[in-house]
Amino acid sequence: MSMEAITDKHGVKRYLITLNVNGDSYTKVVKGNTVLVNVLRDDLDLTGTKKGCELGDCGSCTVLMDGKPVNSCLVLAVEADGREITTIEGLAQHEQLDRLQDSFVNHAAVQCGYCTPGMIMSAKALLSKNPDPTEQEVREAIAGNLCRCTGYVNIVKAVLAAAKAEGGAAR
Amino acid sequence: MAKVLEPESGGVALQAVGKRLPKLDALDKVQGKAVYIHDLKMPRMLYGKILWSRHAHARILNIDTSRAEKLPGVRAVITGYNTPEIKVGFLKDNPVLKKDKVRQYRDEVAAVAAESLEIAEEAVRLIEVEYEPLPAVFDPVEAMREGAPLIHEEKGSNILKLPWKLICGDPDEGRRQADFVVEETFLLPWVTHCCLGTSGCLAEFQPGGNLTVYSPTQIRYLAQRDFLEAMAALGLKDKRVRVVSTAIGGAFGSKLDTYPFEFITILLAYYAGRPVKLVFSREEEFFATPARQKVEAKIAQGCTREGRLTFRDVEMVLDNGAYTSWGATTPSVMMMPISSLYKVPNVRYTARCVYTNNIYATAMRGYGNPQATFAIESQIDALAEQAGFDPLEFRMLNANTAGEVTPQGFKVGSCGMKECLEAVRESLNWNEKRGKRNGRGVGVGSLIHVGGGARIYKSDACGTIIKLDDFAKVTVMSGATDMGQGSDTVIAQIVAEELGVCIGDIKVIMGNTDLETWDVGAHASRTTFVAGNSALYAARSAKEQILALAASLLNEPQEDLAIKNSVVYSRRNPAVSMQLERVLRAAHFKTGGTQIVASHFYDPPTQMLDKEMKGNFSAAYTYGVHGAEVEVDRETGRVEILKYVIAMDVGKAINPMLLEGQLEGGAAMGIGYSLMENLQTEKGKVLNPNFLDYKMLTFADMPEITSIIVETGERFGPFGAKGIGEPPLVGSAPAIANAVYDATGKRVRSLPLTPEKLLFDADGSEERGGE
């Protein structure tokens, strides 16, 4: 890493990073081992991104980094320097919900809701590159996101319906 | 997609009840705005961390906290030696901080509050504990033997003094009457809730010594009482405890008790004089949260040549683990299917819960019913085969019916069991598919569960307060708890229907013991029934007050008035009407005016079980049937579910869309229990405390689910509804195991149905234990 470190009087190295989150620029001082999810939640108060396992197994902390879905618990904050991050808070535009958010509400794809932000971000990444996915493609794209409440059925329905709505609007 | 078999009854078109309405809080949740315990932050809040035991069973010789105390940023270090003793669990056998000895790896030995989680974690590492390991016991059968290491010496035995026993009729005579008898042993593993949001709480003392605990609990009011005991231990008399619910990141029974970590957080907040939040890591969630216990069930059932069941005899050993939570009371629910699933005149059930040095047992969706039903329903198939009956026909022959009183004394109101069996038969194409033994097979598993609350405490009540403002907006304060299942929405629909307002005008507030009135908790699939009835009667009372006011304003007899779409009108002459908000303002804006506030405390018409464990402890019973078509890979032994169907008699679907969510989610949990879930332990240590090694269903594993809603109209239910939270996973395991048998001829008597068992261990009864 070419980044310059500042060493504090206890000998701990810290790095100055600049993140672009949901269109806003933030400059923060982080340790080398600080993970992105903690910067988002603790430093920026963007608590919509959830932590479910901190091992990359559950997908609750999924955000978009330069448009690609990542487990933000596995991304070091220094690796996110200069990148564009989109979190669940950045999805609605001018109070207008994203179609996926609408669709999750209307298809009862939300129960306890803890996995929901991560699910929606994974689905967003899918629809951005594949606006008209098959059911199988939806299942594969979100296979890294665990849900204990819904049995996934309504989530698949919600994503497919959002894709359809999106396609309909574009045509 | 779900189809509804019965048309809406009553002839009156319903406005809100029966509609597929989105969950009220979904809008917050899809935007990341719901606040879970993990998201909560207070000014000057500290972070709590627990030091866990390094042994399954050991004496604590010394705890040295001096290095932790000196670490900068540490504000409190507590152990069992510098805090008053607080014991939790309904047998009070679980000290919140262990002193003298530990009985499990999950045991709390010390705890720290610090300025950051990082410092707290570092401080916990600096605490030195000297142990003297003790002989340990991990198998409940071994733990019952003379001379086994005692988990709680003062008790003199590892067998809990809870001798669960039920005898109905004459089981020995029933056995003599049987022409066919099957006897088997079934084994069920430890499994855990896997809430996506881990456990945690935040405790804050107010300057006067009152306490607020923010918690995703399922039992706000019982927790309040438990926390008051902690206050008493701290010498804080006559103080208030306020429990505030956060959004709940999944519960499934895991938050039905209070646990040591909550009391530790309270102690830390007290000694540090600052708010403290303590949240489990995923690993802690896996090993420290009590789970659904391991059960060994010996079962015998018999029938006559004509296919009538004559007896059922069940003997169980339950691994209680090192401490007692609600797991030890699950036999009270297991009795329900054992005595009352199908018509079986003679029943015997005994169960022993045994202390071991394992993790301990608590409630989990189904509360013992999944274990008992796996044994009963697997064996019903075997018995049917032996007696020469089609297993589904055999179930039809013995099915429960409306109006019967079961041997345990349950008064069955509505019962759609036969309709459910028929629906599953048709959906699975049973008659065509069954009996091929070609690697593909079909199976069913029926179930009974409480659907009208469960009187396990002296009260099974829920309180509701309803008020209306100047603009006819309705606030419903309910003692109930929504943990994602949709109770908020169901309650709003019931109130909207009764008050004649639209659902958008209703706000449901739950989650603050200072505001809402009492409720016993979100358990026993009781919320729609009990909280729903409570809301219904409160709304009725509010409506009567409104109509009395309107009667004088409109000069019409009160009994002719009704409310629809927020307009009060005369049924005889609809032209005579007044906007609801005008009625309310007229009440407020006058000398000697009044306000519309109504409340109701609903306690269902039920009995506590008597000394013989008999009585009508629920006001309604929910019936259902799970069906599965599977394909078993001959090469790998892997079970693939080709089709999964649930038919459920719910009385009345208040919200079919949310109901389907319960059915699908329950099925997913049930399929996981059947095929892959297993909290593995070795000498008391949890081996798979992460989602990579503890397998639960993913998108890729989830089959298509066909939900069939059967509406029988329950006389006591709100708009005819019965409870439904737990049944959607109760019948899964036997349905799948029976389908596997139909496909392969192999009867696996232990869960999960892993490929190894199908390839190498066709007879699961030979194998003991899941470890």
pLDDT at position B759:
87
**Does A99-170 match A5-90 at the fold level?**
no
**How far is Cα B52 from Cα B288, in angstroms, rounded to an integer?**
9
- Summarize pLDDT for A116-145 with one digit per residue, the tens: 999 999 999 999 999 999 999 999 999 999
Domain ranges of chain A: 5-90, 99-170
Report the C-alpha gap between B25 and B489 in whole angstroms: 8
Residues of B in contact with A30 (CB under 8 A): none
Q: Is B1 on the interface with A (CB under 8 A)?
A: no
User: Is the CB of A63 inside 8 Å of chain B's CB atoms?
Assistant: no
| Distance between CA atoms of residues B569 and B573, nearest Å | 8
A positions 27-46 inside 8 Å of B (CB): 41, 46
Structure tokens at B483: 């943990």
The pLDDT of residue B763 is above 80: no
Chosen for mutation from A99, A112, A120 (greatest number of chain B CBs closer than 10 Å) is A112
Note which residues in 133-152 of chain A have CB less than 8 A from chain B.
Answer: 138-140, 142-152
For A47, the closest of B39, B195, B696 (CB atoms) is B39
The answer to whether the beta carbons of residues B24 and B492 sit under 8 Å apart is yes
Q: Which of A51, A87, A138 sits opposite B38 (nearest CB)?
A: A51
Residue B761: is its pLDDT beyond 60?
no
Instruction: Return the pLDDT at A168.
Output: 53
**Which chain A residue lies closest to B365 (C-alpha atoms)?**
A149
Contact B30 A97 (CB under 8 A): yes
Q: Is B247 on the interface with A (CB under 8 A)?
A: yes
Residue with tokens 């109701």: B600
Q: Report pLDDT for B576.
A: 96
CB contact under 8 A, A97 and B193: no
User: CA B771, CA B748: separation in Å to the nearest integer?
Assistant: 16
Residues of chain B neighbouring A148 (CB-CB closer than 8 A): 193-196, 250, 252, 665, 668-669, 696
Q: Smallest Cβ distance to B197: which of A89, A91, A114? A: A114
Q: Tell me if chain B has a CB within 8 Å of the CB of A90.
A: no
Q: Do B252 and A148 touch (CB under 8 A)?
A: yes
Asked if A108 lies within 8 A of B661 by C-beta distance, the reply is: yes
Q: Best mutation site among A99, A114, A159 for testing chain B: the one with the most B CBs within 10 Å?
A: A114
At B55, give phi and psi (nearest 5°): -135, 155
Distance between A8 CA and the closest CA of chain B, angstroms: 16
Using the predicted structure, report yes or no on whether residue B705 has a pLDDT greater than 70. yes
> What are the backbone dihedrals phi and psi of residue B142, each rounded to the nearest 5 degrees, phi first?
-65, -35
| Overall average pLDDT of the B79-101 stretch | 97
Task: Answer left, alpha or beta for residue A59, where phi above 0 means left and psi between -120 and 50 means alpha.
Answer: left
Q: Annotate B357-425 with DSSP letters as a single string.
A: SS--B---TTTTHHHHHHHHHHHHHHHHHHHT--HHHHHHHH---TT-B-TT--B-----HHHHHHHHH
User: A15 CB near a chain B CB, below 8 Å?
Assistant: no
What is the pLDDT averaged over residues B69-88?
A: 98
Record the tokens describing residue B619, joined without a space: 């006001």
Which residues neighbour B495 within 8 Å (Cβ) at sequence distance 6 or greater? B466, B474, B476, B501, B506, B508, B535, B536, B538, B539
Do A25 and A47 meet the contact criterion of CB atoms below 8 Å apart?
Answer: no
- Judging contacts by C-beta atoms under 8 Å, the chain A residues touching residue B34 are 113
Backbone angles phi, psi at B678, to 5 degrees: -170, 110
**Residues of B whose CB is below 8 A from A116:** 29-30, 32
CA distances from B576 to A115, B475, B545, B551, B560 (A): 51, 27, 19, 11, 11
As for the ipTM of the complex, it is 0.97
Angle at B68 between CA B65 and CA B73, to 5 degrees: 145
What is the 3-class SS of chain A, one letter each residue?
CCCCEEECCCCCEEEEEEEEECCEEEEEEEECCCEHHHHHHHHCCCCCCCCCCCCCCCCCCEEEECCEEEECCCCEHHHHCCCEEECHHHCCECCECCHHHHHHHHCCCCCCCCCHHHHHHHHHHHHHHCCCCCHHHHHHHCCCCCCCCCCCHHHHHHHHHHHHHHHHHHC
A4/chain B closest Cα distance in angstroms: 24
State which residue of chain A sits closest to B193, comparing Cα positions.
A148
Gyration radius (Cα) of chain A, Å: 17
Amino acid at A32: G
- Measured between CA atoms, the residue of chain B closest to residue A139 is B699
Contact B699 A101 (CB under 8 A): no
Chain A residue with Cα closest to B26: A105
Nearest to B664 among A91, A140, A151 (CB): A151
**Which domains, from first to last, does chain B contain?**
12-34+461-602 (3.30.365.10), 37-134+199-279 (3.90.1170.50), 295-455+609-766 (3.30.365.10)
Touching A: B residues 609-668, CB under 8 Å? 657-658, 660-661, 664-668
pLDDT reading at B393 higher than 70: yes
Helix (H), strand (E) at residue B111: strand B108-114
Q: What would the CATH number be for the domain defined by A5-90?
A: 3.10.20.30
Asked if B23's CB is within 8 angstroms of A105's CB, the reply is yes
Gap from A159 CA to chain B (nearest CA, Å): 13
Residues, chain B: 771
Strand partners for B245? B215
Q: Show the tokens assigned to A8.
A: 């504090």
Instruction: Tell me the per-residue pLDDT of B578-598, one tens digit each, with 9 for 90 and over.
Output: 999 999 999 999 999 999 999
Q: Which of A148, A157, A160 to mutate to test the interface with B (most CBs of B within 10 A)?
A: A148
Contact B703, B643 (CB under 8 A): yes
Q: Report the pLDDT value the prediction gives residue B10, as an integer from 0 to 100.
A: 43
Query: To which H or E segment does residue B570 belong?
Result: strand B567-570
> What is the structure's pLDDT at B12?
57
Confidence grade of residue A76 (pLDDT, cut at 50, 70, 90) = very high
Q: Is the Cβ of B692 closer than 8 Å to some Cβ of chain A?
A: yes
pLDDT in tens, B515-544: 999 999 999 999 999 999 999 999 999 999
- The third-level CATH classification (topology) of the domain covering A99-170 is DNA polymerase; domain 1 (1.10.150)
For residue B22, list chain A residues with Cβ-Cβ distance below 8 A. 105-106, 108
| Lowest-pLDDT range of A153-167, B153-167, B306-320, B684-698 | A153-167
Are A153 and B664 within 8 A, CB to CB?
yes
What is the average pLDDT value for chain B, to the nearest integer?
96
CA-closest candidate to residue A112, choices B201, B657, B488: B488
Distance (Å, whole) CA B677 – CA B523: 23
β-bridge pairing B128-133 and B87-88: unpaired
Q: How far apart are CA B390 and CA B132, in angstroms?
A: 59
Which of B21, B31, B726 is most worth mutating to test chain A (most A CB atoms within 10 A of its CB)? Answer: B31
Cα–Cα dist B367/B374, whole Å? 13
Q: Confidence band (pLDDT; 50, 70, 90) for B760?
A: low
- Tell how strand A5-7 and strand A13-21 pair up: antiparallel
Q: Encode pLDDT of B333-343 as tens digits.
A: 999 999 999 99
Q: How far apart are CA B357 and CA B345, in angstroms?
A: 39
